Structure 1
């Protein structure tokens, strides 16, 4: 079961980052191997339906209800068995960092923490990015953290199942 850690970083009533964790019956190295193959993200994420990868960069194609959008991503942290993260942009505007921290848990398992940090703080460009987010995803900025937390719980539950089936 995924568990939230912390209320997230708040500024003027908006949450700028959230994280969720789950214990998985697989080694950090095995979990990392699955996460580092970003094309498999569509198996776990409730929004991603396809990924096109080119080296450290990839494009994620996403959908929620009848909304469909794409994001440009760059792998920013790749520490096997420890940490995997990527930065997301849309039309060159910084959007967020998504990542996974991995720690050993008892019995050969792993504590997997998924996190999201919103990068739309810059006043002018942030407003444009917020507007694009609303238009493309239908999610207002004030609800983004809540929606991402729910998506993380689904992602972690599915990742846990995939890891444990593979182990």
Structure 2
């Protein structure tokens, strides 16, 4: 796999299982993420599992859009990842890697890979209001990881 287009990491005073519980539940993740705001399971899915799909609702200011996410990795306490599409076209991949750093502490790396074909960047940038996607995702990751840390350490 190529290098991510945006990535960030943070150390969290919580177990890898606690952090995985937060990032692998699309409902909980929506409360932590910067643009992602909610979901609806598709195809009878009701929990995170490889192959499960959900419609992700996203927002940035007054702009709203939705995408389809397919879970590609669901390894409790270690990795959660999903591929994002729009109208069947690749948009991105999001991945959360969790590594235990010491007793009841872990390091979480959130990464994303840009997958939009070049011709799709203008219409999707217009729809979302984001013209510098990698830069915006770096800032979004910083905000999401800070919220994840707060939520995980509160438990």
TM-score, length of structure 1 as denominator length: 0.82
More helix by share: 1
CA distance in 2, matches of 1:22, 1:38: 20
CA distance in 1, matches of 2:128, 2:60: 7
Deviations 1:4-45 (A, max 9, x none): xxxx95xxxxxx612100000111111111111111122101
Aligned 8 A contact 1:39 1:53 in 2 = no
Deviations 1:111-142 (A, max 9, x none): 0000001112xxxxx134212321211112xx
- Equivalenced residues, count: 146
- RMSD between aligned residues: 1.5
Ranges of 4+ aligned residues in structure 1 off by more than 3 Å: none
Secondary structure of the 1:156 match is helix
Of 143, 148, 155, 1:159 maps to 148
CA distance in 1, matches of 2:126, 2:88: 17
Q: Which residue of 1 aligns with 2:48?
A: none
Secondary structure of the 1:44 match is coil
Of 47, 61, 66, 2:62 maps to 66
What runs of 5+ residues in structure 2 fail to find an aligned partner? Answer: 46-51
CA distance in 1, matches of 2:89, 2:63: 20
Q: Which residue of 2 aligns with 1:5?
A: none
Q: Which residue of 1 aligns with 2:93?
A: 97
- 1:84 equivalent to 2:96? Answer no
What runs of 5+ residues in structure 1 fail to find an aligned partner? Answer: 1-7, 10-15, 121-125
